């Protein structure tokens, strides 16, 4: 059944059918033509012979010439009947010739028309007595009746007839050979059709296999057909198409890999959802953000899922995505997840002018929002820090100008206040300039191989005096030899520890302790400034190195400072290739730790 449904079978059957029909028609026409040809030839010969016999009898109507005619008839295996006006000349009745009883022939009206001057040819079936036997059987007879005119007067007719058995046998033999030839032709046509169909379909089968390979993604299959016909052109086109598809697929794969790499390496989260709000693409940052969202909203299904593909996004993003796809325009919204602010930019995706989904970029803008706040606070703090000393300068200078001071001692006190405030304002401006240069990368370090212990001891001694005034213990714990040398900018490092210890002393209550600890860890200088002060809230720890940042305004009230010291400390440590970190617990104290490579 498979063979008949194949191109080979169909083409084979078609060719064989066409050849069989053509050969059958040709055989039938040829048999008919041969039968007609033999019949026409026999009738013409019989007619000529009958005319000759009629002429002979007309010229010599004696018995001798009739016998001569009979001998002629016998030579041609024919029989003859001569009809006169009053008599019938019996037919030739030889043992070797079959014959028809004359009475039966004379019953045929067509043959008797010769009596009226017509030449009649009749083909019909008559009872025939076999030669040398009394058996009678029906047989095809060809008879010719020719008028007989003796002395120009119609006197009768000459009837010649013969059986068509030889003609029939000849026709049968010819038909048999024609059928043999037709059968051989059909057989040869079958072989030719099979060869031709195979020759035509073999390339098609190769192309089908190649197409199956293409469907499976293997475009390396090459069709090995080398011909100059249409099939060869088709095979060449197939191979060219395969190469083009292979190049296109590889290009698409490269683009997909590049896109996947870009999405994986992005800090921002990217998701794509379909028209029903189900996720069809999500990069790792987006998965992390959605996991946090699921944790906050207690979505167990999301927390247990290993892959977010196919999951339906939860509210409030679900309603947001529906609005974007319905209104078909880009929208932006903010979502707060576990204390972080996510900015979501979502735009619709189109497929032939039809919305098929949406793509969203999720960006963690927590730091940006906090930096915006810090910038606003920075402007406010700078204005405040400058306004206070300027106001004091203006007020006390006016008091001096207006001679409000009653005596020189009071005037000197006002002048001292003006001097202190101008020094404070100068320090603030210098700190701002230093920090600006550091941010711009213009910090200059004069690194030298120096002994660190003397500088640390000097700083501790200086603040020990300040600490005693406030009943605060300031001490050092140095865990390396006095003579150890380090490659540092000694002035900058003194600025670092001065700022850190001053900051610790200012935020430590009476009876507290401030400790400077230093040691070597894995070829790095490790130092800590620990205090037992009020501490810093955990939420404020990431921002202590920001300019003018104050965790608690009430906590810093009355404790002078520019608000830039820790920012400068961080920049100096980073310039030395080090790291600085802060650890604090509210009500227990704060520790600033510094790591600086020794070389």
Residue range 259-272, pLDDT digits in tens: 878 877 788 888 88
* 350 within domain boundaries: yes
Same domain for 572 and 488? yes
* 469 within domain boundaries: yes
The CA distance from 194 to 191, in Å, is 5
pLDDT exceeds cutoff 70 at 553: no
Instruction: From 275, 279, 313, select the one nearest 293 (Cα to Cα).
Output: 313
The number of distinct structural domains making up the chain is 4
Tens of pLDDT, residue by residue over 2-33, are: 455 566 667 777 777 887 788 788 878 887 88
Tens of pLDDT, residue by residue over 77-102, are: 777 777 764 444 444 444 455 666 67
Phi, psi of 133 (to 5 degrees): -155, 155
Running DSSP on this structure, what letter comes out for residue 366?
H
How many other CB atoms are there within 10 angstroms of residue 311's CB atom?
18
Average pLDDT taken over every residue of the chain = 77
The CA distance from 104 to 127, in Å, is 8
- Could you tell me the pLDDT band of residue 431, with boundaries at 50, 70 and 90? low
Question: Would you state the pLDDT for residue 202?
Answer: 76
What CATH number is associated with residue 478?
3.30.565.10
Average pLDDT score over residue span 509-521: 90
- The region of weakest confidence among 41-45, 165-169, 478-482, 554-558 is 554-558
The boundaries of the domain holding residue 374 are 369-439
Pairing assessment for the beta strands 120-129 and 136-150 based on DSSP bridges: antiparallel
Tens of pLDDT, residue by residue over 184-198, are: 887 887 787 777 777
The CA distance from 127 to 140, in Å, is 9
Average pLDDT score over residue span 361-390: 74
* 323 within domain boundaries: yes
Alpha-carbon distances, residue 283 vs 87, 305, 539 (angstroms) = 126, 15, 29
Same domain for 420 and 523? no
Question: Would you state the pLDDT for residue 437?
Answer: 67
Question: Would you state the pLDDT for residue 352?
Answer: 77
Question: Would you state the pLDDT for residue 405?
Answer: 65
Same domain for 411 and 430? yes
* 231 within domain boundaries: no
Same domain for 507 and 544? yes
Phi, psi of 220 (to 5 degrees): -90, -10
* 42 within domain boundaries: yes
Tens of pLDDT, residue by residue over 221-246, are: 777 766 777 777 877 887 888 888 88
* 532 within domain boundaries: yes
What CATH number is associated with residue 109?
3.30.450.20
Question: Would you state the pLDDT for residue 406?
Answer: 65
The CA distance from 176 to 210, in Å, is 50
Q: Which of 439, 466, 482 is the last residue of a domain?
A: 439
Long-range contacts of 344-347 (CB under 8 A, 24+ apart): 344/317, 344/320, 346/320, 346/321
* 426 within domain boundaries: yes
Same domain for 113 and 166? yes
pLDDT exceeds cutoff 90 at 592: yes
Same domain for 390 and 323? no
The CA distance from 515 to 592, in Å, is 11
Same domain for 358 and 475? no
Same domain for 315 and 343? yes
Same domain for 110 and 156? yes
Query: What residues contact residue 474 under an 8 Å CB cut-off, 6+ apart?
Result: 460, 463, 464, 466, 467, 501, 505, 513, 514, 516
Alpha helices per DSSP H over 344-489:
366-401, 408-439, 452-469
Alpha-carbon distances, residue 167 vs 162, 163, 170, 175, 290 (angstroms) = 10, 8, 5, 12, 103
The CA distance from 390 to 400, in Å, is 15
Q: Which of 302, 334, 364 is the last residue of a domain?
A: 364
Same domain for 461 and 591? yes
* 102 within domain boundaries: yes
Same domain for 60 and 159? yes
Which of the residue ranges 123-132, 485-494, 575-584 has the most confident prediction, judged by mean pLDDT?
575-584
Q: Which of 411, 439, 467 is the last residue of a domain?
A: 439
Same domain for 474 and 533? yes
By CB neighbour count within 10 A (0-12 exposed, 13-18 middle, 19+ buried), where does 248 fall? exposed
Residues facing residue 159 across a β-bridge = 81, 145
The CA distance from 479 to 482, in Å, is 9
pLDDT exceeds cutoff 70 at 74: no
Running DSSP on this structure, what letter comes out for residue 221?
-
Average pLDDT score over residue span 197-211: 77
Instruction: From 198, 244, 200, select the one nearest 219 (Cα to Cα).
Output: 244
Structural contact between residues 433 and 425, judged by C-beta atoms closer than 8 angstroms: no
What CATH number is associated with residue 425?
1.10.287.130
Pairing assessment for the beta strands 448-451 and 589-597 based on DSSP bridges: unpaired
């Amino acid at each position: 059944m498979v063979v008949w449904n194949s191109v080979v079978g169909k083409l084979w059957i078609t060719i064989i059918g066409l050849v069989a029909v053509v050969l059958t028609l040709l055989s039938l026409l040829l048999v008919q033509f041969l039968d007609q040809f033999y019949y026409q030839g026999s009738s013409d010969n019989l007619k000529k012979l009958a005319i000759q016999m009629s002429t002979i009898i007309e010229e010599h109507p004696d018995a001798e010439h009739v016998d001569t005619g009979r001998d002629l008839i016998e030579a041609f295996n024919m029989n003859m009947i001569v009809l006169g006006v009053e008599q019938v000349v019996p037919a030739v009745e030889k043992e070797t010739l079959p014959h028809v009883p004359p009475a039966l022939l004379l019953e045929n009206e067509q043959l008797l028309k010769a009596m009226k001057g017509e030449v009649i040819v009749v083909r019909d079936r008559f009872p025939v007595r076999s030669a040398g036997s009394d058996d009678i059987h029906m047989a095809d007879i060809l008879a010719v009746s020719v008028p007989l005119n003796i002395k120009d007067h119609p006197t009768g007719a000459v009837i010649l007839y013969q059986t068509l058995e030889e003609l029939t046998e000849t026709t049968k033999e010819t038909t048999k050979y024609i059928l043999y030839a037709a059968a051989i032709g059909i057989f040869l046509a079958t072989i030719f059709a099979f060869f031709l169909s195979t020759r035509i379909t073999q390339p098609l089968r190769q192309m089908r296999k190649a197409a199956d390979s293409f469907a499976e993604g293997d475009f390396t299959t090459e069709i090995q057909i080398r011909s100059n016909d249409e099939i060869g052109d088709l095979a060449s086109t197939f191979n060219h198409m395969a190469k083009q598809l292979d190049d296109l697929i590889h290009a698409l794969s490269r683009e997909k890999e590049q896109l996947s790499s870009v999405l994986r390496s992005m800090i921002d989260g990217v998701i794509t959802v379909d028209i029903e709000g189900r996720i069809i693409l999500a990069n790792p940052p987006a998965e992390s953000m959605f996991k946090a969202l699921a944790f906050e909203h207690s979505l167990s299904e999301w927390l247990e899922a290993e892959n977010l593909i196919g999951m339906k996004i939860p509210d409030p993003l679900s309603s947001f995505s529906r609005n974007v796809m319905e209104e078909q325009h880009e929208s932006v919204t903010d979502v707060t997840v576990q204390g972080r602010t996510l900015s979501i930019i979502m735009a619709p995706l189109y497929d032939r002018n039809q919305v098929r989904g949406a793509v969203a970029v999720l960006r963690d803008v927590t730091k940006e929002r906090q930096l915006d706040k810090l910038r606003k606070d920075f402007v406010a703090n700078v204005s405040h820090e400058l306004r206070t000393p300027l106001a004091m300068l203006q007020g006390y200078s006016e008091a001096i100008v207006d001679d409000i001071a009653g005596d020189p001692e009071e005037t000197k006190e006002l002048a001292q206040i003006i001097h202190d405030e101008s020094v404070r304002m100068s320090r603030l401006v210098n700190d701002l300039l230093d920090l600006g240069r550091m941010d711009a990368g213009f910090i200059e370090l004069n690194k030298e191989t120096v002994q660190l212990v003397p500088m640390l001891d000097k700083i501790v001694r200086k603040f020990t005096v300040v600490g005693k005034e406030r009943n605060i213990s300031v001490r050092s714990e140095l865990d390396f030899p006095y003579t150890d040398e380090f490659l540092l900018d000694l002035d900058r490092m003194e600025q670092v520890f001065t700022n850190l210890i001053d900051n610790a002393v200012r935020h430590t209550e009476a009876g507290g302790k401030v400790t400077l600890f230093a040691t070597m860890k894995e070829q790095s200088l490790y130092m800590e400034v620990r205090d037992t002060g009020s501490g810093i809230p955990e939420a404020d720890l990431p921002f202590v190195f920001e300019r003018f940042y104050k965790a608690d305004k009430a906590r810093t009230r009355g404790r002078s400072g520019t608000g830039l010291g820790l920012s400068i400390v961080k920049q100096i440590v980073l310039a030395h290739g080090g790291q600085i970190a802060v650890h604090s617990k509210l009500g227990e104290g704060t520790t600033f730790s510094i790591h600086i490579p020794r070389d």
